[in-house]
Amino acid sequence: MANVPLRRAMLDAKLSNQNLADRCEVDVKTVERWLQDEARVPHLRHQLAAAEALGVDTSVLWPEAIRNTVKTGPDREVLTVYPYRSACPKSIWRNLITSARNEIVFAGYTNYFLWLEHPNLAKVLKRKAEQGCKIRLLIGDPDSEVTRRREEVENVPLTVSMRCPADSGQSAA
């Protein structure tokens, strides 16, 4: 089966097979094999070189690499791995939140997506807290150097610092 994410990333970066081969210091036929077979996972140094050349994370290009290094399945602690947050179905977030009994911890720059994708989240969290579930939100400092660098990388109009609550030192219920 073809490696569609790799092909898409190459198109977005406007790199030919030969361009990517040159940047990864491999033969063009190697890149062609990567494109033809999504299960073919390059050596780590080539994954990193390709990801850098294409401006994407290696897990986007070769999600199978994660599956090969992380034990997954019903008999393991890690059940499933998603290469990026938006790849995780909304239903999983909903199920994790609604099934929590003792504690819920959200850690991220803003967790903004949760509030957009789950309009009743505030009510759900309030009810959970009333039932004794500890709710913690660990969010980014809008004035930190880390946040500023993240904004440079994302380069979007709705910046990370705009999405971080003004008083990030407060904790929820």
The 10s digit of each residue's pLDDT in 70-119 is 666 666 667 778 877 878 888 888 899 999 999 999 887 778 788 888 88
Residue 9: how many other CB atoms lie within 10 Å: 21
Which option is the CATH number for 4-69: 1.10.260.40, 3.30.70.20, 3.30.70.920, 1.20.1730.10?
1.10.260.40
Residues of the chain with CATH 1.10.260.40: 4-69
pLDDT at 10: 95
Strands (E), 16-148: 103-107, 134-138
| H/E stretch holding 81 | none
Q: pLDDT of 105-162, one tens digit each?
A: 988 777 878 888 888 999 999 999 999 999 998 877 878 888 778 778 777 766 666 6
Q: What is the pLDDT of residue 15?
A: 95
The four Cα atoms 122, 125, 127, 131 give a dihedral, to 10 degrees, of: -160
Rounded to a whole number of angstroms, the distance between the first and last alpha carbons of the chain is 48
The CA-CA-CA angle for residues 95, 82, 49, to 5°, reads 165
